[in-house]
Structure 1
Amino acid sequence: MTDKDLLIPASQVDALAINSRTRRGRIQMFMLLLACAAPVIASYLAYYVFKLEGGKTNLGTLVYPAQELNTAWLDTPMKGKWTLLIARPAGECQIKDEKCIEALFLMRQVRVAMGRESQRVQLIWVNTDGKPVDAEVLAAYDEKAAGFKVVLPPTDPKLKEAFDLWLNKEGAGQQIQLIDPSPAKMMYFPVTNSPKEFSSMKKDLEKLLKLNHKGESL
């Protein structure tokens, strides 16, 4: 102990030690929170980076703040994956129903267009009425043929109410919704058959996948 230390009252030394530990604890807590939030932060940084580079070609509408998805809502793994999600009643989704088929076709083609990165993207169809999927539709858009997982909405009334609110927030219920690996809804896209808009949607997803690998578990 130095002469200088001897001039400091013991009570002040204890206070300094406590303050030092408190600061370290706060820093550690901040770093932990930052690590947990990294996937969402990275998603938004990626979006803003490429938006500045080519905003005129983007199709997606950014969801801010991101809308967290409760993994208890759907009986399929969502955390650690990029997901394109659509919600449609199977009873109304027939081969001749252009609106429904256009949505499924667009999702399938965008995923195919990702090339080697396509395995990082899963396609989820929430069958909102629980009826059997039309055989022709299933043959073209099942998991084996097109990568689609057909899942049911929650059966528990409280979970279903919460899921429906999340799904339809900002009027996005009929849109194609992009879920990041955290998982949270961060963007949604209109259903379109325009080649130009298809290209814009592809670029949105392409650049996100290129710039962000955080939180993924393939």
Structure 2
Amino acid sequence: MSDKDLLIPASQIDSSVINARTRRGRIQMLLLFLACASPVIASYFAYYVIKPEGGKTNFGTLVYPAQDFNTAWLDTPMQGKWTLLIARPAGECQIKDEKCIEALFLMRQVRVAMGRQSKRLQLIWVNTDDKPVDPEVSKVYDEKIAGLKIVSLPSDSKSWAEFESWLNKDGAGKEIQLIDPSPAKMMYFPVTNSPKEFSSMKKDLEKLLKLNHKGENL
């Protein structure tokens, strides 16, 4: 507004000028919002509107709205990373325990199968009983060999209860949970030993990482 405009009563200012300025401000705010939210919107749009494989449903179960993850729950970086997370008691997760080993094997193999994209995906096993991990399991599924980071539950009871509630929401406590870089749970996968379902899980992850460029580097 010029000095001349300041001398004119507000009631006499052309209403069209005010409306134009208001519209401009709203458009700028909308563009800013879309720029910030576009990666997440693209991910969900692709799965809710542009269905993978010509209209077939994807293998994983979408979580909508996404369930926020509190980074204070676990002593490991989560912000800005794509994460596959599973929670199992180390005391029960022995080599002879097929269900637990299948879950660890599936996470490891999916990450390996993603090739160059694998560097954008971290694997986390939350040890829910804080017992020592079976040495035989560590040999094959540790961080150095398999890229699988083993972390403990939150130390204080409040955080532990919050994490457990988040983990088990919608009955997903035993599933493999996908956490986006925001971080928030946006999908979970059943544990499977089916080659076809393995391929479908890999395709889900590849599509999401292709559409959402956040979390480029671990």
TM-score (norm 2): 0.86
The structure carrying a bigger helix percent of its residues is 1
Distance in structure 1 (CA, Å) of the matches to 2:145 and 2:185: 26
In structure 2, the residue matched to 1:140 is: 140
In the TM superposition, residue 52 of structure 1 has moved relative to its aligned partner by 4.4
In structure 1, the residue matched to 2:172 is: 172
After superposing the two structures, state which structure 1 stretch, 111-120 or 9-18, moved more.
9-18
In structure 2, the residue matched to 1:71 is: 71
In the TM superposition, residue 58 of structure 1 has moved relative to its aligned partner by 2.4
**CA offset digits 1:68-123 (Å, max 9, x no partner):** 11111111111111111100010100000000000000000000010111101100
Q: Tell me, yes or no, if the aligned pair for 2:119 and 2:217 is still in contact at 8 Å.
A: no
**CA, structure 1 residues 194+70, in 2 after alignment: closer, same or farther (shift >3 Å)?**
same
In structure 2, the residue matched to 1:11 is: 10
Please give the secondary structure, in 1, of the residue aligned with 2:178. Answer: strand
The answer to whether structure 1 residue 129 and structure 2 residue 147 are counterparts is: no
In the TM superposition, residue 62 of structure 1 has moved relative to its aligned partner by 0.6
Q: Tell me, yes or no, if the aligned pair for 1:61 and 1:187 is still in contact at 8 Å.
A: yes
In structure 2, the residue matched to 1:113 is: 113
After superposing the two structures, state which structure 1 stretch, 53-62 or 146-155, moved more.
53-62
In structure 2, the residue matched to 1:60 is: 60
Identity %: 78
In the TM superposition, residue 155 of structure 1 has moved relative to its aligned partner by 1.3
In the TM superposition, residue 202 of structure 1 has moved relative to its aligned partner by 0.9
Query: What is the identity, as a one-letter code, of the residue corresponding to 2:76?
Result: T
**CA, structure 1 residues 97+65, in 2 after alignment: closer, same or farther (shift >3 Å)?**
same
Aligned residues: 214
Query: What is the identity, as a one-letter code, of the residue corresponding to 1:112?
Result: V
In structure 2, the residue matched to 1:198 is: 198
Structure 2 gap segments, 5+ residues each: none
Distance in structure 2 (CA, Å) of the matches to 1:14 and 1:217: 53
Query: What is the identity, as a one-letter code, of the residue corresponding to 1:181?
Result: P
Distance in structure 1 (CA, Å) of the matches to 2:136 and 2:63: 34
Distance in structure 1 (CA, Å) of the matches to 2:190 and 2:209: 20
In the TM superposition, residue 162 of structure 1 has moved relative to its aligned partner by 1.1
In the TM superposition, residue 153 of structure 1 has moved relative to its aligned partner by 1.5
In structure 2, the residue matched to 1:87 is: 87
TM-score (norm 1): 0.86
What is the alpha-carbon root mean square deviation over aligned residues?
A: 2.8
**CA, structure 1 residues 159+16, in 2 after alignment: closer, same or farther (shift >3 Å)?**
farther
Distance in structure 2 (CA, Å) of the matches to 1:55 and 1:155: 44
Q: Tell me, yes or no, if the aligned pair for 2:103 and 2:191 is still in contact at 8 Å.
A: yes
Task: Please give the residue correspondences for 1:43-58 in structure 2 after superposition, counting only pairs within 5 Å.
Answer: 43-48=43-48, 51-56=51-56, 58=58
